[in-house]
Structure formats: structure tokens, C-alpha cells
A and B are shown apart, each in its own frame.
Chain A
Amino acid sequence: MIRNYLKIAWRNIKKRKSIAFIHITGLAIGFTCATLIFLFISFHLSFDNFHRNSNRIYRLVTEIHREDIRYKATVPPGLPNVFKNNYSFAEKVTKIVDWDEQLITVKSGDSQESYKAKTAFTEPDFFRIFNFPLLHKNFSDELDAPNTAVITPQAAQKLFGDTPPIGKTFVWNNEETVLVTGVLRNLPENTMFTSEVFISLNTLRNSWVSKETWTGTSSSLQSFALLHPGQHPADIEQVMKSFNAIYLPDADKDEYTYKLQPFNSIHLDTQYSGGISKELLWTLGIVGILLLLIACINFINIAAAQSAYRSKEIGLRKVLGGFRKQLLLQFLTETFLITLIALIVGLGLSIVLLPYFNNIFGLSLSVSGLLTLPFTIFFIILLLGIPVLAGSYPGIILARIAPVLALKQKLTQKDTGGVMTRQVLITGQFIVSIILIAIMLLISKQIRYATQSDLGFDPSAIVMAGLPDLPDEKMKASGLTSLKSEILRSPYIEEASVCFTSPGAPINGWGTDVSFNGNPGQEKFLIESKMGDKDYLKTFGIRLVAGRNFIQKDSTDEVLVNETFGKKIGINDPEELIGKSITISEDYIHGRIVGVVEDFHDKDFRQNISPVFIAWDPDRAYNELGIKINRTHAAEAIRHIRNVWSSHFPDYIFEYHFLDERIAEMYESEQQFLALTRIFSLLAIFICSMGIYGLISLFVSQKTKEIGIRKVLGGKVFNILKLFSRDFLKMITIAGLIAGPIAWYFINKWLQHYTYRTTVSWWIFILPIGCMLLLSLVIITCKGYKAAMSNPAKSLRTE
């Protein structure tokens, strides 16, 4: 029996190729999207799930309660040792200092090669807590001794080529010679740890992060604990509440709260700068389901509309003794076959498109993700679920029609599923498409707003050149003076400023305490530091609103603040701030305010503008050189900067980036989301158009007689096209009315993430509706025109 069903199904597919094409393409596209989204979601859900005891691993984190709560994925350097040595909560505690890309130099005889490699500093217990095994042997005392390292095979290849790396040495940051004692297996993609080189933390024994200090935190230091079985994090957090009174007695005891963040939740916890938000994963999941759903709606609609063609066959099968159940099964077999073909096509498409998808997200999801148990289950659910979802409705309709009517082919719309049901389903498709397009338009509007609005400074044509991590003495301003003046010698360089970080998109953000005008105690807020020389304002185009720029001296007694600082302390007139004293970071700066600058966006548009100070500290080590170049001679300018820089730091690698690109990178997740919504909207429109095309084709063939009669009675082509378009116009209007508020809700919810947001313009809702109208009209005109132009004698005869 099943063989017979399959045979018929296959012949039906061959006979009605265009309809089968619409079915298969729509479903295949829907499935491709769902597959890529599935891979994406399962990749993110699988983050760090391969560690043996991941449910007992916690990250030690800090909540800073001031005006608002700040979440820091770190604790003071002194805390992990106390946690480990003074209490029995944990089996193991480890620290890791991630300094991202570091200079690694490999010497061979007289020659040497320098590389940038992602580098972290950690302890042996790190590898006892996490499952990052060594190649060929078990961990014993690796990373115990200072100046030792374990590296990944990739790093080994990069640094030593094909030579066995164990026993080799490299120089880290032109400071320390480090011996390679082990090679790790390659770290998987789905881990938060991305370093290639792990140097023993003891190598940093003189660094601040190795001190037992409780004042201050560094975001590069992370601490992890493997708790004993049965330990409750809430109980431990309760105990940690007493830490401030013991170890930080001068601080407000409620200001710093230490917490245990479950390791499993880190990747999805955006409060602590996790990799991705749960909301985004949910949204993508819903979009995937919706795309599959609109493909299924096509299937249902066209199959139901086609029932008239199938009615004779169904009637006959009933006459010949077929039961409803058997007929339904026959339909499900057909749908199953189409689904199977569509899924295979979709699978092929997913494999082909995976590299492009990876490119958008900067991922390297692999085809092997398709060979996992979850994907197999997903595939089987779809393979069985889609036929049931898409085939049941037309199947039930066809199986229940009276054989007598079916044989005579005198089925009404009601018999074949009802116009209403079909219209509701198509309207559903329109709703999904309109919502997706509206969201896409809004995201691009917000990104445009964020990247093209006045930021309060001018990020264009600014090259940020990194300065090497040299001992402080060499990097002090005095040491950089000659570098800066040499760079300024080129006619292609307009301005330059030695600074700690740029005004926006800070890579070394530093918020600290502030006291104003001799007031006892600190203000409730933190002030962001923008240390730089006197040319900071000129280089970055920051505008003064009161007072003057500071004078660069051998001491730090003149400070600039921004307008928000004034507002925070209740002084709205910038002039009133001039001459007032200010103390920053306890005793670090004692000075007076000499100028107030206009507010600028020091962070992205999700966050409020912070209170900011700008000052010059001649004794400080600086990280960057901001250089305003002549845009029309960018290449020459950069060449000049590179030459001067390299002559000053011959042992280091010159790296630079453009400030406006760094700002755009702050919206990378939005850009990715935009790219996705753009693709998904287009696909939704495509699937929708195929549905409209399929239905119009069937509609035209069902209305052949009516068209003939209308033409005989003098109906014009336009009137006949109107006949086809009327229902679609009605459906799109209703869809627009329903989709509008839904899209508005989602758009507003999304915009809530931004403190500075674009307006929700009317055209965001009207444009998608117009787009669907236009699309329908084009399809209707193309398809309907042929029917309307046909010879009425012929169309009447075909009936």
C-alpha cells in the first residue's frame, strides 16, 4: 500500500512540477534557515558544557552598588587566595589573567621573529578545574614554575613551525623568557577561553594582579572555583558579605558585593558581558520557527487549493473502497515525500551557506554539527512533523468530501477547505513578513542613528596607534614626546595626542571615585578617566563649553570635566564648576577644574553618558597615540606613522585601527542581527511570493470560466485583474493592521536597550505593507494578465 502511495506521490510531483517546485523550494528555504539557526543556537547553548564538573564551577564576580549596579566579572586580586586558603568551600580555586594579544618573540641563532598571540597567565589548577587536556600526557606540575608555558598546537605551529615545541623558549613582551613545557589539545570553539598561549601566573609575580590587594579590580583577571559537592552558592555568598569588613574596612560595606556566578550561565549572561543574550537566541529561534511555519502555510494553502484537481482521484478511491484513514495516509505519504526531498535540498543548502553564515557571525560552525544527536532529533521531528502539520489539513479535507461530488468535480470552495481558512493562513504569512521587514528597517535606522549621530567628538580620520607595553619609565609622556613630534612632522598628519584611551569606544575603560569641592566623602557615582595630553581636545574634536583647556605641566593640578559631571553633582551651569577643587581616585589627583567640555558619548548608545574627567599626568604610562590624519592622503600618513613608530620601538609590532571603525564595532551584534533579519525578511518575502504565485495560478485556472463569461459580457482586462487583486489587497490591509501593533511592541522592547535611540517613524510600518502590496500586485498582474488576455471562447471551452 505504502509503495502505491509513494508511486502516486512521485508521479504527482512529476506531473505538477511547478507546484512541486513551490512546495519544495519554500520548505527547503524554511528548513535551511531553521537548520542554520539551530546550529547557531545549539553552538551557543553548548558553550563550555564539556567540562567534567561544570555544574560545580563558579566564577567569582563583583556587584558594585552605587547610584546603579555595575556588574564586574572579576574580584579584587586578594579575594581568590582568601577564598582558597581561609575557607573550605572549594576543592580548587584558580586565577587567570587574560591580556589578549601579546608580543611573543622566538629567537633562533642570530635571527628572531615576533608574533602577536592571544596570551593568558594562569595556574596549574586552571587545568584541573577545566577540561583542556595536554597532548600525549597528563597534567602534573605544568605552569607551577615561573616562566613556563603550555601552548595550543596552533600556537606551536605559528611560533616553532614543525619543530617539536616542548623544551623550546620564547620571549614574552621583550621581558621574560618562557619555556614551553606542554602542548594542549586544540581548544574547542565553544569555550569562553580563547588564548593560544598559557604562561604560568607566577611569571607575573611582580604585577599588580598577583598582589594580595583588595583595592580595585581588573577586568583581565578572572577567578574560578570548583566547589565541593553539596556546597550552596547562596550560603557562600552570605559568608562573602563579611569580606569587606575584614579586608576592606575603609570602604562602604554595602558597596561591593561578591557573588558566585554559575559557570554554565556565563556565556548567556549579558550583565557580565557574556557572549550572547538569551533574548537574541530566543528571537532567532522564533524567527526560525516562523519561517518554517510560513513555508508550511504555503504547503497547506496550495495543497488545499489543489484539492479540486485531486477530487476525482479521491472520489474514485472512495468508490473503490478506500477508507478515510487510508486516503489521509496517502496524503501524508505525499507530503512526507515532498518534505523529505525539501529537507535533503535544505540540508544541502545549509552546507553550502554555512561558510557565509559563519562569516556574518565570525563563527566557525562546522558541518559536523549536523551529525549530532540533537540535530538528528530535530531533523526527524521536522520530517515527521511537517507532513502532519502541512499534510493533515488538505488530507482531512479531501478525505472527508463526498465521493459523488468529488467524482462529478462539483466541489465548492467550502468543500475544499473554505476561502476563509485559506485567507487567514495567507494573512498570517503577510503578518510574519511585515513584522520581519519592520524590525529590519528599525534596526538599520538605529544603527544609522548610532553611527552617524553627533557623538560630541569627531572620530573620523583618526588613527589609534597602540603603544607597546614597556616598563612605565619608557612610556611616560617624556619618553613619548619625541615620537609624537616626529609623527607630527609629516604634512599628512593634522593632530596627535598621547592618551590612555580614545573618547568613545574605550579599550581601557577606567571608572574611579571622585570628591568635589572639598566635600567629605566620595560622590555616589564613578568618574570615567580620559587621561591625555593637552592636544586631546583638538585631536578628537571635543568642544569646550566653559573655561579653558588645561596647561600641560609637570604635575596634575588642572582638570577638565564634562557637563554630565556637573549635572550629577547638581550644577547645571558649567561656569559655576570652574575653579572648584576636585579629588580623583582618593589621592591620585588633587586639582581644580579649569574647563568643562561638552558631553560626548564615551560609551555605546545603550549606556548613559558618564561623568568624565580629562587630565594630564606626566608620570603615567600611556597606551595609545590618537592621530588625526589627512583623509585624502591616508596611505601616506599611515606609512609615515608606521616608520616613525617602528624606529622608536624596533622590537615591537606596529598595530593601529581607525577610531570610527572601533565605534562601529561596538554595534557588531546589531550589525549581525541586521544582516540576519535582512536575509530572513528577504526569504520570508520570497516564500510568501511563491505562495501568492501558487495560489494565483490555481485561482486563475479555477476562474477560467468566470473570466470567459466576464469577457464575453464586455469585461476589461483591468476589471479582471481587479477581480484577482481584491482579496489580496484586503488580506494585506488586515495583515498590516495586525502586524503593526505587534511590530511596534517588539521594536519598542528592543529599543529599550538603548538610552539613546532613534524615533519609530510611521514609514517603518507603512513601507513593509507597501512592499507586500507591490509584490502581490506584480505577481497578480504577471499571472492574471495572461488569463485576462486569453480568448474567451477558449476559456469557456476548457470549462
Chain B
Amino acid sequence: MIKITDLEKYYRTEEVQTVALNKLSFDVREGEFVAIMGPSGCGKSTLLNILGLLDDPDGGSFIFNGIEVSGFNERKRANLRKHNIGFVFQSFNLIDELTVYENVELPLIYTGVKAGERKERVQQVLEKMQIMHRRNHFPQQLSGGQQQRVAVARAVVNNPKLILADEPTGNLDSSNGNEVMDLLTELNQQGTTIVMVTHSEHDAKFSHRIIRMLDGQKVTENILAG
């Protein structure tokens, strides 16, 4: 599903150039659950942004579903993103002014799904995430675990092929964290590819494969039995 080859990304200020990704290469197969680990500043989030088509690489190749996407303009990227990729963030990133229902509905609005179908799909996913009873609440009225369940619901409502999760349990206690990991595992078992950035060895163990990074490069890759 994903094939990156010699991917490069630099951050430049007026005087300094920092290498974020240094000729990074790896593949992710469809249906795989991959965890990316490494110390802060090793380039994990940069990588996730590029994989999520939120950022452009400065060099190398990025093939998504067989298409080279590294030169795509913003509109093409947005189009590809909204139909294929779901995001789960450490800080949940729900829109404060929207209710639970409306937050989950938003990706469907942007993909042009009709109102009737939207309602049905949002209800389905909220029930699946066991958050239906909170549908009219605003994010700030929910606990962290509930917020992250809403974020996962929003990520999957469009049935994306790929979910990118950036430290999904980073702001949660262990029990809520485990719940979220169980949700991701379940989604993966139903066929969704997941790439997760994490600091947590515990969370990483839910994946099939762990890629460890340092200074923008891949250092090791462990395939987990499971």
C-alpha cells in the first residue's frame, strides 16, 4: 500500500538546515499494523505528516496505492486524503465548536456524502465506538478516553484504507489507552492498514511490525509474532 524510497525532508531557517528525514525507505502492506518508534526529534511525526499527505517531502519517492504522490498539489492531496486516510492524534484534535455527532460527520460532508447516508453512517460508527449516548455533547464535556473514541470514530467514518495514529494513547491513562489500542486492533483485524507513531513499547506490541528511527533514518525493524 505504501512504498517510500530514499525519502528526504529538511527544515530550513535562515542560517541552519535540519535534516528531518534522511533517505528513509520502507514499505507497508495492505492490512498491516506498523508501529514507528524512536526518540523525540527522530522524524516520526514528519514521516507521519508526509504519509498523511499533509506535508511534501523534499526528495525521494512516495508511492501510495501504486501512485507516485510526492509531487501532488494541495487539491489532489486533499482529495486523496479524504477518501483514503483517517487520522488519530495524541491530543484528539476535535473541533471544540462542533458536537460529537458533528465532528464525526465532518469528513462525510467534505466527501460529499448525502445527508441521509451521513446520518446512518455516523450513527453506526458512534454505536460501534459506544459513544452514541454522548452524540450531542461538545468535546470539552467528555473525558480524554471518550474524546479519543470520538477521534477514532471520525477517523474511520469514511472507511479509509489507512489510519495514521500519532501517539493515540499519549494523553490517556492506561485503561483508556488500552481501550483505544483494542479499537485500533479491531479495525486492523477488519482490514484497515494502520501506521502508528508511539513512544510506548506497550502500545507498539499491538502492531505487526516495529520500525525504529534515529536522526531521520531507519535503524531497526522488528517483526512481531502475532
Contacts and interface: CB of A to CB of B under 8 A. Distances in A.
Contacts of A317: 95, 106, 110
A404 B55 contact: yes
Contacts, number: 61
Contact of B78 (A1, A321, A402, A404): A321
A52 interface: no
Interface size class on chain A is 20 to 34
A404 B102 CA distance: 22
Interface residues of B, number: 25
A317, A319, A326, A404 interface centre (most CB from chain B within 10 Å): A319
Given A12-B97, A15-B97, A318 B78 contact: yes
B54 A403 contact: yes
Interface in B179-208: none
Contacts of A11: 97-98
Contacts of B111: 321
A695 B154 CA distance: 35
A754 to B, nearest CB: 58
A412 B178 CA distance: 37
Contacts of A402: 54-55
A319 B95 contact: no
A321 B110 CA distance: 6
Contacts of A381: none
Nearest to A403: B54
A7 B97 CA distance: 9
A407 B154 CA distance: 16
A323 B75 contact: yes
Interface string B104-137: 0011011100000000000000000000000000
A315 to B, nearest CB: 8
B93 A4 contact: no
A188 interface: no
Given A1-B109, A8-B98, A312-B93, A321 B55 contact: no
A273 to B, nearest CB: 61
Given A15-B97, A326-B110, A4 B102 contact: yes
Contacts of A8: 95, 97-98
A715 interface: no
Nearest to B81: A321
A404 B98 CA distance: 21
A212 B2 CA distance: 105
B38 interface: no
A313 interface: yes
B82 interface: yes
Interface string A302-329: 0000000000110011111111101000
Given A321-B107, A404-B55, A7 B78 contact: no
17 contacts: A4-B109, A7-B102, A8-B95, A8-B98, A317-B95, A317-B106, A319-B93, A320-B106, A320-B154, A321-B83, A321-B110, A402-B54, A403-B54, A404-B49, A404-B54, A404-B55, A407-B54
Interface of A: 1, 4, 7-8, 11-12, 15, 312-313, 316-324, 326, 402-404, 407
Given A323-B75, A326-B110, 19 more contacts: A4-B102, A4-B109, A7-B102, A8-B98, A12-B97, A15-B97, A313-B96, A317-B95, A317-B106, A318-B78, A319-B54, A321-B78, A321-B79, A323-B110, A324-B74, A402-B54, A404-B54, A407-B89, A407-B93
